């Protein structure tokens, strides 16, 4: 198992426990932007590797991403905690010093962590994966996901970046959730409704670090089928 292999052989200071999904993508982008050496350890969630005991010692929440920093012995889980840990440790893309800008950065960072991520995730679940008969759930999460994304678009209509005058940690956090926006909305034309987010998304995608972060997923043949076994691993409440 990839997770167990880590304990036997330490190659890089930083181990990123990764699946090609929005929250791990943020960390891949951060690591690439910061130019930090790291090893990607695949956690194939459609095969149920997130439930293995060895991985749950690293992330008791059994989700990706997680990070081990062999330099400090620290284990960090939850994408926002990892971003803050790395920014604090390295000083790269650190929160702005100015208290007003810092307050904005923290506010939007937590808005993405507690709003954009969970509402978008549940919207995807009810739109694409829940059994029939869940219209109320879909309606609620569709409404909340759209409301949250609209707030980001409105903010970016007035500001070039999420916090302050420069590309930073909050933009990196947002990028992870941008790629699946049409899938979240169930609308191939979704980008036309969020032109300001699209502007920033395109700008970040043009950065070499974003290209490298995208390429990380090709390092492993992750399972792509959402078959019965994948549903069992991802949605254990149904079984
Ligand atoms: N709050 C967590 C959420 C992590 C999360 O939901 N990760 C997803 C991928 S984006 C996952 O690993 N899902 C597998 C599962 O739910 O079994 C974070 O920001 O890291």
Question: What is the CATH number for 173?
Answer: 1.20.1050.10
Q: Which residue has the least CA distance to atom 1 on ligand 1?
A: 78
Structural domain range at position 59:
2-93+218-238
Inter-helix orientation angle 195-205/169-178, to 10°: 100
Residues flanking ligand 1, CB < 6 Å = 19, 21-23, 45, 50, 63-65, 78-80, 117, 234
- Looking at residues 162-184, what average pLDDT do you find? 97
Q: Per residue in 22-40, pLDDT tens?
A: 999 999 999 999 999 999 9
Same domain, 36 and 109: no
> From ligand 1's centre to the CA of 23, what distance in Å?
6
- Residues 6+ away with beta carbon under 8 Å from 74: 67, 68, 85
pTM over 0.85? The answer is yes
Between 11 and 183, whose confidence is greater? 183
| Number of domains composing the chain | 2
Where do the DSSP E strands lie in the chain?
14-18, 38-42, 66-69, 74-77
Same domain, 87 and 103: no
Alpha carbon distance, N-terminus to C-terminus of the chain:
24
- Looking at residues 80-87, what average pLDDT do you find? 98
Ligand 1 atom closest to the Cα of residue 45 is 14
Same domain, 103 and 197: yes
Residue 18's CATH number: 3.40.30.10
CB 176 within 8 A of CB 26: yes
Between 226 and 3, whose confidence is greater? 226
> From ligand 1's centre to the CA of 65, what distance in Å?
7
Best mutation site among 17, 63, 112 for ligand 1, i.e. most ligand atoms within 8 A of its Cβ? Answer: 63
Ligand 1 atom closest to the Cα of residue 113 is 19
CB 86 within 8 A of CB 30: yes
Same domain, 162 and 86: no
Closest to 213 measured CA to CA, from 77, 12, 14, 20: 20
- With a cut of 90, say whether residue 62 has pLDDT above it: yes
Q: Exposure of 56 by Cβ count < 10 A (0-12 exposed, 13-18 middle, 19+ buried)?
A: middle
């Amino acid at each position: 198992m990839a997770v167990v292999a880590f304990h036997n052989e330490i190659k890089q200071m930083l181990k990123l426990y990764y699946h090609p999904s929005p929250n791990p993508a943020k960390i891949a982008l951060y690591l690439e932007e910061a130019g930090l050496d790291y090893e990607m350890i695949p956690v194939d969630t459609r095969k149920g590797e997130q439930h293995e005991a060895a991985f749950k010692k690293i992330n008791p929440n059994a989700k990706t991403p997680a990070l081990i920093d062999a330099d400090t012995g620290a284990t960090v889980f939850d994408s926002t905690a990892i971003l803050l840990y790395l920014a604090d440790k390295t000083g790269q893309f650190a929160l702005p010093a100015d208290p007003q800008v810092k307050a904005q950065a923290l506010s939007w960072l937590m808005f993405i962590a507690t709003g954009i991520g969970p509402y978008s995730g549940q919207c995807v679940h009810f739109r694409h994966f829940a059994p029939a008969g869940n219209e109320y759930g879909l309606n609620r999460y569709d409404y909340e996901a759209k409301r949250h994304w609209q707030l980001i678009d409105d903010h970016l209509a007035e500001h070039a970046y999420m916090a302050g005058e420069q590309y930073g940690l909050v933009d990196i956090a947002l990028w992870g959730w941008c790629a699946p926006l049409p899938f979240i909305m169930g609308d191939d034309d979704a980008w036309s409704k969020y032109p300001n987010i699209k502007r920033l998304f395109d700008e970040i995608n043009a950065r070499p670090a974003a290209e490298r972060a995208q390429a990380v997923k090709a390092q492993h043949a992750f399972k792509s089928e959402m078959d019965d076994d994948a549903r069992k691993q991802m949605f254990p409440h149904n079984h």
